[in-house]
Structure 1
Amino acid sequence: MPKIKAKKTCENIPKEITKYPKTDVILYTDGRRSYHYRVKKEGLYLQPPILAYSQGKNKYKIPDSYCVETTWGQGNNKQTVECSINYIREKPFFRVMYGSNFSEDVCSNTSPTAAANAIIRKLFPNNEKTLMSGIHLFGIHLETLKQARESKRESNSNIQLKQIKPIEHCGKSMIYKRQRKFGDQLKEQVQIEGAKIYGKDQVILKQISYNVKYMGFQIAYGSKDDREKEKKLNSIVQVIDQNYMSREGYRALAAVEPDLEREWIVSEQRLKITKNMNQKIEITLIKIFQLFQL
């Protein structure tokens, strides 16, 4: 007799039951098994080519800065773990925390399924043949979260494109504000990502250089020694004066070489030197024609 294929009933169709984002709870069921998720951090999708995808035919996008509590099973087999995904060195790092107050963990830098099977061996050591889907444990497949991430990303991109004025149309004040804001946010992100890689060893950002279109920028972090800075400025003033370099010439050179001090800073130092010289060396002005009359 020919085999009769069982029709897929409505009960076996995967579905997500939730009022997210009004509530942080998502119930996923496919008729055979159910997972309860409590979203702690929604996460975000990074830009290609850093963005990673899951293995298999579905190729789910793997989010960054993502954390969720997952509960599955019934009765004595009911378990709750905390799953998180963070990109380290541009690769997703999968972590599952379990036990009392989630005090223990297992990790994997290869796949969510590797982390899922590792946690199953910890929770059910006597059942070595039991396997688990890492996609379901981490909730990577949840369409609710995927739509939320992509919606926010698209909304933020549209707002930024409408509001941000091209740099060539910005005044000096606006350019400086953007540079300062960019530097502050970059420093914050470096400290966050540095903690993931170096742990308690603090990463200190000293200096960065970058270009936006045809403009070069340089940001120095931390306070410099005032004496060293003044000594450097005095040397620059001396070189300019000895070589008869104009202000326009130095300004053009500083625009090409970002390591040089800005022209207005050099001009202020020249005025300071002049004032100090006038105080230490008295200069008396006389009229030449009066000397001839004498």
Structure 2
Amino acid sequence: MEANEISLPLQTDQQVKKKKPVEIHNYPKESIIQYSDSERSYTYDIIKEGNYPHATYLKYTKGQKGFRIPDNYEVKVSLRKPKTRQVVRCMIKYMEKNPVYWIYYGDKFQYHVKSEKSSSNAACLYAKALNPEIKTRYSGPHFFGLHLEILQQARDIHQRATVLKSFDNLTSTGQNNRAKKIAKSISTIFDQVTAKDCHSDDNLSLKSIEFDIGNNSFYLSVNKENIEEIKHKARAAVQACDKGQVSREGYRTLASISQDLPREWKVSVEKRDITREMNEIIPISLINILPGSDDFVNSEIHINDAEIVHNMQQSIGKGGRRNVVDILKYLIPGLIERKILDVMNPKIHLRISGDGRNVGRKVKQVMITCSILDDIDNLYRPENHYTIVLYPGVEKYETLNNVLKSLAMELRKLKEEGFKDNQNIEWKVELYFSSDWKFLAMCLGLNAANSRYFCPWCEVSKEQQGDFSYEWTISKTMDQVREDYTFYKGHIRPAIFDMIPLQHWVPDELHIMLRITDVLWRLVLDELRSRNTWGERARNVIIEEMKRIDVKFHFWLEIGSTNWQYTSLMGQDKLVVLQHFDLSKLFPYSRAVQIRSLWDKFYLLHKAMKDSKTDATQFSNDARAWLHQFLDSNYFYQASDITPYMHVLVYHIPEMMRIHHNFGLAAFSCSAVEKKNHQQVSHFFKRTTKDGGTGKGRKSAIIDILEYENRLLYFKEHDEIDSMQLPKRLRVK
């Protein structure tokens, strides 16, 4: 043995070998697992066993040769000896397909560290949190118990036991449960991502999830339902259906193909609630109508749909009415807010209008409306003319006088006393009336337009129409009509609205254009007959020319007659003919130029009449010049060809322009009222909404219309569609 050499004791094989790892447990009956090896000892209390994610994103502690890392795993870990024992709670969750590690510590586990790197990094962070000066290192897999064989085996067993069935092999309940489970997982991920990537003030909320599984589509609502939002959407749907006149069945069909729309039953509930609410604010009164005669309609038939005619006839005898004051009280706050009305000058200019739609040959839908002239920019909209009386039947003085008695009393009181709104503001009301000639004359108790004394405003006779030596002005007064209507020739009955001064009975500029255009066209056809050029060739030329200017027009012979009938043109078509019809295809050039000059000048008068900036004196001069030209011997037209509308155009329209210059004559156009009446008849007397039903559900279509009008008023002040905030639709590739 060499000097200084020290003899070492021999080591046995048992001393060289390391202690084998030991797992002591009765898992899964008991949650405690004790582990020890030659270097460490741990006690694990399994809270959540967890599971291994899908192989596509399963992670390992050291590549694929290490331990598999579970998801949704939670364990309470005790480490070291009893005197220095530490107890922590460890958690692992996958976020965005990567495991994240948490260690909670403290008496109540109130502190924690988190790592997105590894279990060992999390253990290291924990050690530093306890004492930054001590360089203690832990094995991450052992700290978290990732090495425990019993847990690995248990997870594998559970995974094999829960092999998913294909979706098509599940029961209906199973399919729904799987869809809900997917939605819950998505909701959890959403919460995790928003917590990480969004500011705490952003207030994010996941409302719904939509996805397909094979051929099955799912739409799942997430979290608690927002009752107010659901109600808001349903009321917006009611508004849309009313605006587009979509039937209940039509909406049900739409809702069946879109999850974005509220269910039809919910929409019906909200529609009923709005109707009840508005019917309390603006009640609807029923009117009993005396049966009229079976007189046939001699004028143009506006609607000839057999179903509508039948349903209208079934409703005869039922009328409805709403009070003007109720409507005004409801509208005033909005009009004040829009600065249409001024509380410092509480005055309302109220226009009354009437229209009768010919439905078939025996029935009319008669509508009386009111509108607020102060809201001048919106008078062209049908919804700004509010129905106050509505009935199906005949358009005769006796019926009107009976139906309109209550309205006349209300208007008289408004004229004399005004009314107080809901804020106790006293409002004065100035009344106006406008309609077509027939309705106006009937309400005035005047003879028909073809009578000798026909004018509502002056005492002209038929024989005096072509005599330019007379200066016809508004010479009649309503006071005289009210005192003794027989004082003026042609007045054969009391005026129904005798509280409205005659200067405020304004002719409808639309009907002036329509009826004078009718006369000009009829005179052209009469001239063709007088020239013996009326025949098949002339009719074919007219049809071809109408095609050229895109106007639908045709001739036909009535059965058993030799008289040719022709299409009655609508308003816009009449203007097109007036402007663009090539008369030279029917007449010699010189004659065509003469007629074209007359037509063009009338068209210019029509435009000027609608323009509130037109000078009344200049218009008067131009209108008189036009009538002189009309009666010129070169035109072959006679004084007998002058119609009441021509008389009004020349003599009374200039006066009306001066009197009503604040509004302009366009404010008294009845086109919106006629459109409103036509739309309502066409919709509400169809089969799906007709007067019918059974038992308690039976309700008149007239009431349906007035309830619909009440809802329009509701949406005028509560625009549910406009206040809807639609989500941005984005596409993620």
TM-score band, normalised by shorter chain:
0.5 to 0.7
- Relative contact order, CA 8 A, sep 6+: which one is greater? 2
Specify the alignment match of 1:229 in structure 2.
233
Aligned residue identity for 2:239:
S
| Structure 1 residue 73 displacement after superposition | 3.3
- Structure 1 partner of 2:27: 20
Structure 2 residues without counterparts, runs of 5 or longer: 1-12, 289-314, 318-361, 363-392, 394-733
TM-superposed deviation, 1:106: 2.8
Residues 141-176 of structure 1 show CA distances to partners (whole Å, capped at 9, x for unaligned) of 222223333433444456997994158x99xxxx7x
Q: Which amino acid aligns with 2:221?
A: I
SS of alignment partner, residue 39 of structure 1 = strand
Paired residues, what number? 273
**Residues 149 and 236 of structure 1: CA distance in aligned 2, closer, same or farther (over 3 Å):** farther
Change in Cα spacing, 1:23 to 1:10, as seen in structure 2 (3 Å) is farther
Closer, same or farther in 2 for the Cα pair 1:145/1:100, shift >3 Å? same
Larger radius of gyration: 2
What is the CA-CA distance between 1:121 and the residue it aligns to? 3.9
Provide closer, same or farther for how the CA distance between residues 132 and 185 of structure 1 changes in structure 2, counting only shifts above 3 A. closer
Q: Over aligned residues, Cα RMSD in angstroms? A: 4.9
Pairing 1:1-294 to 2, within 5 Å after superposition: 12-47=19-54, 49=56, 51-74=58-81, 78-123=85-130, 127-128=134-135, 130-157=136-163, 164-166=170-172, 189=188, 193=192, 197=196, 205-212=205-212, 213-217=215-219, 219=221, 221-225=225-229, 228-241=232-245, 247=249, 250=251, 253-266=254-267, 280=284, 282=286, 285-286=315-316
Which amino acid is 1:133 matched to?
S
Report the Cα distance in structure 2 between the residues aligned to 1:256 and 1:161, rounded to whole angstroms. 23
Q: Is the 8 A contact 2:42 2:77 kept in 1?
A: yes
Q: Is the 8 A contact 2:235 2:271 kept in 1?
A: no
Letter in 2 for 1:117: C
Q: Percent identity?
A: 27
The 1:179–1:268 alpha-carbon spacing in structure 2 relative to 1, beyond 3 Å, is farther
User: Measured at CA, do residues 267 and 38 of structure 1 come closer, stay the same or move farther in structure 2, by a change above 3 Å?
Assistant: closer
Q: Distance in 1 between matches of 2:82 and 2:238?
A: 79
- Give per-residue Cα distances to partners, 1:207-263, cap 9 Å, x unaligned: 21313434342527321257633531222322553xx7793x655544443212334
Decide whether aligned partners of structure 1 residues 98 and 26 sit closer, same or farther in structure 2, where only a CA change above 3 A counts.
same
SS in 1 for 2:122: helix
Higher mean C-alpha deviation, range 252-261 or range 109-118: 252-261
**Amino acid aligned to 2:153:** Q
CA deviation after TM superposition for structure 1 residue 87, in Å = 3.4
Match of 1:3 in 2: none
Deviation of residue 138 (structure 1)? 0.4
Normalized against structure 2, the TM-score is what? Answer: 0.31
Superposed displacement of residue 112, structure 1: 0.3
Bigger proportion of residues as strand: 1
Q: How far did residue 31 of structure 1 move?
A: 4.2
Contact 1:41–1:67 (Cα < 8 Å) also in 2: yes
Distance in 2 (alpha carbons) for counterparts of 1:184 and 1:195: 16
Q: Alpha-carbon deviation of 1:16?
A: 2.0
Structure 2 counterpart SS, 1:55: strand
Q: Deviations for 1:24-83, whole angstroms, at most 9, x for unmatched residues?
A: 211223444332212233233344545433224534332233222223334766543332
* Greater mean alpha carbon deviation, residues 154-163 or residues 115-124: 154-163
The question of whether the paired residues in 2 share the 8 Å contact of 1:236 and 1:266 is answered with no
Cα deviation, residue 110, structure 1? 0.7
Matched-pair contact (CA < 8 Å) for 2:241–2:251: no
Q: Quick one: distance in 2 between partners of 1:273 and 1:123? A: 66
- Say which SS state the counterpart of residue 43 (structure 2) adopts: strand
Letter in 2 for 1:33: R
Answer yes or no: is the 8 Å Cα contact 1:190–1:205 preserved in 2: no
> Which has the higher mean CA deviation after the structures are superposed, 200-209 or 57-66?
200-209
Where do 5+ consecutive residues of structure 1 fail to align?
1-5
1:179 deviates by 10
After TM superposition, the structure 1 stretch with the greater mean CA deviation from structure 2, 148-157 or 37-46, is: 148-157
Say if 2:32 and 2:45, in contact at 8 Å, map to a contact too.
Answer: yes
**1:140/1:201 Cα in 2 relative to 1: closer, same or farther (>3 Å)?**
farther
Give 2:141's aligned amino acid: I
Distance across 1 between alignment mates of 2:178 and 2:75: 35
Report Cα offsets for 1:99-129 as digits up to 9, x if no partner: 444444332111001112233345565553x
State how far apart, in whole Å, the 1-side matches of 2:170 and 2:42 are. 42
- TM-score normalised by structure 1 residue count: 0.66
